[in-house]
C-alpha cells in the first residue's frame, strides 16, 4: 500500500510540475495516456517511461526538462505535457519502446511501439565462440555460445545527424522472454535508473539485470569489442 501511495504522490508531483511548466510557457497542458504496444499488439509488463522535449534551447538542461516515472507503470502512463515534439521511451525487462511524437491540443492517447533495431539479427552463435565482424560499421566482437547480436548501426540523433559511437544489442538467444541482454551505447538510457552501465573500449554496455548469464557473456564480449576502419 505504501508503494502505491508513493506512486500516486509521485504522479501528482509530475502532473503538477508539467502543469506549472505549461502555465509558464502560456500553453494549455495536454492530458495524455501513453501506452506501450507489444509485437502482438497487446500491452505487456509494467513500463518505465520518459518523455524528452526535442525543441529545447541549446542552453537547456535535458535531464531537468525530462518527465519520467519513478517506478514502472502497469497500464497507461497518465501525464500532462505542454504541446511540442517529444521522444517517448519505455523500458521493461524484455522490451524497448520508442516513438517521436508531436503533442498537440486535443490529443488524448499515444501508443508507443516496440523499438525496431535496423537490420535485425546479424549472427547467432552456435559454437563455443563466434567471431563477428561488421563491414559497414567496423565493429568486431566475439560472442559466447547461445548468444546473438543485432545488426550494428549508428544511431540517428535527429536532423540527419548520426552518433559517432556504434550501437547494437547482444542477447541470450533463448525462446520466450527473460534472456540476458547487453546494449551497446543505447540512446535515452539513464544509468542506475533504467539499469547499470559499464564502460568498455567502444563506449558503454548496459543491461537491465546483472544476472549470472549476463556476467558470463560480458566476460567474453567486453574485452573483444573492437572497431576497425570499414
pLDDT mean over 145-159: 90
What's the pLDDT tens digit per position in 67-112?
A: 999 889 999 999 999 999 999 999 887 788 899 999 999 999 999 9
User: Which domain range does residue 219 map to?
Assistant: 121-227
Q: Are 173 and 125 in contact (CB under 8 A)?
A: yes
Residue 21 has pLDDT above 50, yes or no: no
Burial class (CB in 10 A: 0-12, 13-18, 19+), 96: buried
Lowest mean per-residue pLDDT among 17-26, 96-105, 138-147: 17-26
Q: Are strands 147-150 and 129-133 parallel, antiparallel or unpaired?
A: unpaired
Distance between terminal CA atoms of the chain? 55
Structure confidence at residue 146 (pLDDT): 95
Q: Are strands 109-113 and 30-37 parallel, antiparallel or unpaired?
A: parallel
- Say whether both 43 and 101 belong to one domain: yes
- Say whether both 125 and 109 belong to one domain: no
Q: Residue 27 belongs to a domain with what CATH number?
A: 2.60.40.1120
Residue 189 has pLDDT above 70, yes or no: yes
Name the domain boundary from 113, 139, 163: 113
Name the domain boundary from 96, 113, 130: 113
Structure confidence at residue 15 (pLDDT): 44
CA distance 161 to 137: 16
- Say whether both 28 and 107 belong to one domain: yes
Name the domain boundary from 57, 92, 113: 113
Question: Where does the pLDDT of residue 143 fall: very low under 50, low under 70, confident under 90, or very high at 90 and above?
Answer: very high
- Say whether both 152 and 223 belong to one domain: yes
Q: What is the dihedral of CA 164, 167, 46, 180, to 10 degrees?
A: -150
What's the pLDDT tens digit per position in 28-70?
A: 899 999 999 876 555 668 899 999 999 888 888 888 889 999 8
Amino acid at each position: 500500500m505504501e508503494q502505491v501511495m508513493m506512486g500516486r504522490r509521485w504522479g501528482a508531483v509530475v502532473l503538477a510540475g508539467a502543469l506549472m511548466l505549461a502555465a509558464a510557457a502560456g500553453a494549455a497542458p495536454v492530458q495524455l495516456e501513453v501506452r506501450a504496444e507489444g509485437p502482438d499488439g497487446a500491452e505487456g509488463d509494467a513500463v518505465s517511461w520518459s518523455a524528452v522535449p526535442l525543441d529545447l534551447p541549446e542552453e537547456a538542461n535535458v535531464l531537468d526538462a525530462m518527465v519520467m516515472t519513478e517506478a514502472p507503470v502497469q497500464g497507461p502512463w497518465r501525464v500532462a505535457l505542454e504541446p511540442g515534439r517529444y521522444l517517448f521511451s519505455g523500458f521493461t525487462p524484455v522490451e524497448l519502446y520508442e516513438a517521436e511524437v508531436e503533442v498537440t491540443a486535443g490529443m488524448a492517447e499515444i501508443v508507443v511501439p516496440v523499438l525496431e533495431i535496423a537490420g535485425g539479427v546479424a549472427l547467432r552463435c552456435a559454437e563455443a565462440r563466434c567471431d563477428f565482424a561488421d563491414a559497414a560499421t567496423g565493429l568486431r566482437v566475439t560472442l559466447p555460445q547461445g548468444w546473438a547480436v543485432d545488426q550494428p548501426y549508428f544511431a540517428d540523433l535527429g536532423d540527419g545527424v548520426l552518433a559517432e559511437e556504434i550501437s547494437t544489442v547482444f542477447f541470450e538467444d533463448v525462446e520466450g522472454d527473460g534472456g540476458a541482454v547487453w546494449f551497446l551505447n543505447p540512446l535515452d538510457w539513464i544509468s542506475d535508473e533504467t539499469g547499470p552501465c559499464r564502460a568498455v573500449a567502444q563506449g558503454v554496455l548496459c543491461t537491465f539485470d546483472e544476472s549470472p548469464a549476463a556476467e558470463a557473456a560480458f566476460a567474453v564480449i567486453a574485452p573483444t569489442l573492437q572497431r576497425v576502419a570499414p
